[in-house]
């Protein structure tokens, strides 16, 4: 399988408030590269979000904006690329809104949601949160709500599910953005 696992953290409840992004590139079922950056959302942080991910306004004060990050990652989002995220609706919306804020068009890509695959393939779990699924599948999650750790775990979950249930079962759950 070839795909990108993507995870955002946000400064507040607004999807355009991305404050960190991680991408994990998978080629031939192997993680081959990782990208992580803090992002300056240019808006206030909510205490609740800080409590979740431990990223503060001070930490991102000199970080690039999403508009400044985009030129470095946009070539990864080629038409037909498969992007994986846990609760993909959240992450794809953060991508869409964060780019739209700077009048950047969202790329077209395919998406697979490991929250959805987990509900399909692991229906008996007590819940389908990333940490629960990772633990059930023996996938490492070294720091929940750190975007890089979450992206690596998401990639590991999809690779494990593909190994257990096959390529066709995975393909049936892919959607286009």
41: domain CATH number is: 3.30.420.10
pLDDT over 90 at 30, yes or no: yes
**53-74 mean pLDDT:** 98
Number of domains composing the chain: 1
Predicted local confidence at residue 75, as pLDDT: 95
Q: What is the pLDDT of residues 91-149, one digit of tens each?
A: 999 999 999 999 999 999 999 999 999 999 999 999 999 999 999 999 999 999 999 99
163-171 contact pairs (CB < 8 A, 24+): 164/121, 165/121, 167/1, 169/120, 169/121, 170/1, 170/112, 170/117
Give the rounded percent of residues in the chain with a pLDDT score beyond 90: 97
Task: Indicate the pTM of the whole model.
Answer: 0.96
User: 147 with 7: CB under 8 angstroms?
Assistant: yes
The domain in which residue 71 lies consists of 3-176
């Amino acid at each position: 399988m070839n795909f990108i696992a993507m995870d955002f953290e946000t400064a507040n409840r607004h999807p355009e408030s991305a404050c960190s992004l991680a991408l994990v590139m998978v080629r031939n079922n192997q993680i081959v590269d990782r990208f992580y950056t803090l992002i300056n959302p240019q808006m206030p942080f909510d205490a609740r979000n800080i409590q979740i991910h431990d990223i503060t306004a001070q930490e991102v004060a000199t970080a690039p904006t999403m508009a400044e990050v985009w030129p470095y990652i946009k070539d990864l989002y080629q038409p037909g690329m498969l992007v994986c995220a846990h609760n993909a609706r959240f992450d794809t919306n953060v991508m869409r809104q964060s780019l739209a804020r700077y009048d950047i068009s969202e790329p077209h890509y395919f998406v697979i949601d490991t929250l959805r695959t987990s509900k399909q393939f692991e229906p008996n779990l007590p819940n389908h949160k990333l940490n629960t699924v990772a633990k059930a599948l023996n996938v490492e999650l070294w720091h929940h709500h750190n975007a890089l750790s979450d992206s690596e775990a998401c990639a590991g979950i999809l690779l494990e599910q593909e190994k257990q249930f096959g390529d066709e079962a995975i393909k049936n759950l892919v959607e286009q953005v």
